[in-house]
Amino acid sequence: MAEIQIKNVAKSFGAYQALNDINLTVADQEFMVLLGASGCGKSTLLRIIAGLETATSGEVWIGGKRIDHLSPKDRGIAMVFQNYAVFPHLTVFENIGFGLRMQKLPNDEVTRRVERVAGLMHIEMLLKRYSGELSGGQRQRVAVARALAMEPDVILMDEPLSNLDALLRMEMRAELKGVLAESKTTAIYVTHDQVEAMSMADRISVMHEGNIVQAASPIEVYRDPAAKFVASFIGNPPMNFLPATPAGSGKWQVAGQSFDGPNTDKAALQFAIRPEDMAPAEQGLVATAKIVEPLGAHLLVTCQIDDAMFRVILDSDTVVKAGQTLTLAPQSDRVRWFDPETTLAVA
Amino acid sequence: MTDATVVDVSTDTRKSGRFLYGASVVFLCAWVIVPIYFLLINTLSSPEAVNSFPKSFIPEFDFGSLQFFAGFAGILTALKNSVVVALMTMVMSIIIGAPAGYALSRFEFPGKGLFRLLILLTRAFPLPLLALPLAVMFIQVGLDDTAFGLALVHTTLAIPFAVLITFSLFSGIPVELEEAAWTLGCTRLTAFNKVVLPLILPGITASAIFAFVISWNEVFAAAVLTIENRTLTAFLLQNLDTSPLHLKFAGGFILVVPALIFIFAVRKYLFAMWGIANR
């Protein structure tokens, strides 16, 4: 059982607060992604779980045991680094078997495990080479194989794909997801790439300025963002926001149109809808098309509503010209509302 | 027509610049090589040929001078002393300097900048100023005229280099390699032994050899701090007026050649230290 519990973990570097009171539970064998922009604290949190940094306060538990006072080697974790950290003076075989040799496993067991993982990562033919003779993608596979060979309770990955080219990244994403699912290990994966997060995670923890803003499944984070930050960070093109003023109980005025909304007595709200959740209709928001981009799979139209920029994704067969007026009806169950002061979602 | 003139002028400047450059390189090489060449000739000449004039440019390959040198009373002991002191210096400067280089490269601590400056400043002190007070202190402690006492002084001279070379070596090893080793079951010490040490061993060797050469070449402290147990440099200095010419040449040769060979062997690391890219 390798459930991870992070209780009230905070970390400061001198005057700079990197993490504020983080609370998170990762279920056994769950693939948790820590997603956020640079500087949000996701790598710091990962390193605290690994034992490479010490939290200023708080506790870390793995498998029901408190581990935050233990050194990395006693935590039952294995880590894959962003720059791979493959040992240059050892062959690929010895790299993968490094942790196993530290455990003083017998030679035949080491060979068996190394060859098995090398097969999983498709690097069996590279076992006698040194890291200097490998490409970036091959080195990354060695790094992952080295972690998997340990058969750890928890595997931690710090942006392992960010140094690879786009095509290789896409291939490795799928491969990693398959390999990790099969290995039945709890995984925590750090990335700034929301596509990676959406495609690989069981749950995503969206982080911003040292806080976890929302921790939920990919589709929940996409459809029901808990805060404006999540709504604008996830999704490409990003969610659209328009100011809304009250027009009676449960009714809100957005760009001259009336919509059903939350029954709250706030002075103003923000109306949010994703570009793909709208369609041309008779009744709806009136927008002037400014830029029309035929992307092949669909049509991306950047419009103007009042003074705000607004993006909508339409079917690729739709004919729209710049300057044309469009009437767009949002799908009512996909409309979201945010409080402009707290930036949190309002039900 | 104007274009042709411009081209000619710049070609001329380039040519004369190149000539000047070539000439100064030749001069510098000669400055270093010619004395060593004379040393070589005279070492390999018979004692009589050394004292004659004019000298030939081709050595006779007579080992008479060297034989005389080997037989001269006290010279082999002096040679042994030089080796012993240099070895002690090498070991001590690495044992003290390498951990300091590691700490400087991996850790942040108050006074780090000051420490680095102080390490360099120890070399700024003129040794003649320190030599006599040191001699007095050594006599009081009982270290005077011992190999260990001299090795201590030489270690002080060699440590700045040991620290700086090892600092740049350790800085060249990404800390992620050590961190990866920690996650794979190593303690800090095991990670150092299994990951860092194999990678820096060539560099540490170079640093050690450099410390050896510093001690080997050192004259002043050796002359002041040793009386009976002289090192070769001190011995030769002492006998400078009274010894025969061929002995001086042979002694000089014995002093220069090992240092030359060692420095040549570790030149790659010295280049790296002084910033010449050598990949």
Indicate whether B248 belongs to any domain.
no
Nearest CA in chain B to A49: B183
Q: What is the pLDDT of residue A276?
A: 93
Min Cα distance A79 → chain B (Å) is 7
Surface of B (143-172) touching A: CB under 8 A? none
Give yes or no: residues B23 and B137 share one domain.
no
Give yes or no: residues B226 and B103 share one domain.
yes
Indicate whether B215 belongs to any domain.
yes
Question: Which architecture does CATH list for A240-346?
Answer: Beta Barrel (2.40)
Nearest CA in chain A to B174: A85
Min Cα distance A140 → chain B (Å) is 13
How many other C-beta atoms lie within 10 A of the C-beta of residue B56? Answer: 10
Give yes or no: residues B232 and B110 share one domain.
yes
Indicate whether B91 belongs to any domain.
yes
Interval B28-44 mean pLDDT? 84
Give yes or no: residues B220 and B148 share one domain.
yes
Inform me whether the pLDDT recorded for B5 exceeds 60: no
Q: What is the pLDDT of residue B136?
A: 87
List chain A residues with CB under 8 Å of B177.
85, 87
Min Cα distance B108 → chain A (Å) is 13
Min Cα distance B237 → chain A (Å) is 47
B174/A83 Cβ within 8 A: yes
Which among B176, B183, B199 has CB closest to A73?
B183
A71/B184 Cβ within 8 A: no
A78/B186 Cβ within 8 A: no
pLDDT averaged over every residue in chain B: 82
Instruction: Answer whether A70 touches B (CB < 8 Å).
Output: no
Which among B176, B184, B190 has CB closest to A150?
B184
Q: Tell whether domain A4-233 is in CATH 3.20.20.70.
A: no
Place of tokens 């009274």: B242
Indicate whether B194 belongs to any domain.
yes
Q: In this structure, what token pair is assigned to residue B76? A: 């082999």
CATH number, domain of B140, equals 1.10.3720.10
Residue B39 structural domain: 2-51
List chain A residues with CB under 8 Å of B201.
none
Phi, psi of B138 (to 5 degrees): -65, -40
Which of B183, B188, B196 should one mutate to test binding to chain A, selecting the residue with the greatest count of A CBs within 10 A?
Answer: B183
Give yes or no: residues B29 and B130 share one domain.
no
Interval B72-97 mean pLDDT? 88
Surface of B (101-120) touching A: CB under 8 A? none
Indicate whether B277 belongs to any domain.
no
Q: What is the pLDDT of residue B60?
A: 63
Inform me whether the pLDDT recorded for B55 exceeds 70: no
Indicate whether B270 belongs to any domain.
no
Give yes or no: residues B80 and B172 share one domain.
yes
Structural domain count, chain B: 2
Q: Tell me if domain A4-233 and domain A240-346 are identical in fold.
A: no
Inform me whether the pLDDT recorded for B1 exceeds 60: no
Give yes or no: residues B126 and B203 share one domain.
yes
Indicate whether B127 belongs to any domain.
yes
Name which residue leads in pLDDT, A158 or B60: A158
What is the sign of the dihedral through the CA atoms of B111, B117, B120 and B125? negative
| Secondary structure element (H or E) that encloses residue A217, with its range | none
Interval B80-91 mean pLDDT? 92
Give yes or no: residues B191 and B232 share one domain.
yes
What residue segments make up the domains of chain A, in order of their start?
4-233, 240-346
Give yes or no: residues B79 and B179 share one domain.
yes
Instruction: Work out the pLDDT band at B279, boundaries 50, 70, 90.
Output: very low
Find out whether the peptide bond into A237 is cis, omega within 30 degrees of 0. Answer: yes
Segment-wise mean pLDDT, segments of 10 residues, chain A, 347 residues: 91 92 94 93 94 94 92 93 92 94 93 93 92 90 94 93 88 89 92 93 94 94 94 91 89 89 88 92 90 93 90 91 91 92 88
Identity at B181, one-letter amino acid code: A
Give yes or no: residues B207 and B115 share one domain.
yes
* Strand pairing class (A325-330; A278-294): antiparallel
Q: What is the pLDDT of residue B3?
A: 54
Interval B142-147 mean pLDDT? 83
Surface of B (169-228) touching A: CB under 8 A? 174, 176-177, 179-187, 190, 195, 198-199
Give yes or no: residues B228 and B175 share one domain.
yes
Yes or no: say if A273 and A335 are a contact pair by the CB < 8 Å rule.
Answer: yes
**DSSP classification of residue B56:** P
Find out whether the peptide bond into B54 is cis, omega within 30 degrees of 0. Answer: yes
Surface of A (116-175) touching B: CB under 8 A? 146, 150
Give yes or no: residues B41 and B115 share one domain.
no
Inform me whether the pLDDT recorded for B20 exceeds 80: yes
Rounded Cα distance, B125 and A14, in Å: 38
What is the sign of the dihedral through the CA atoms of B89, B90, B92 and B94? positive
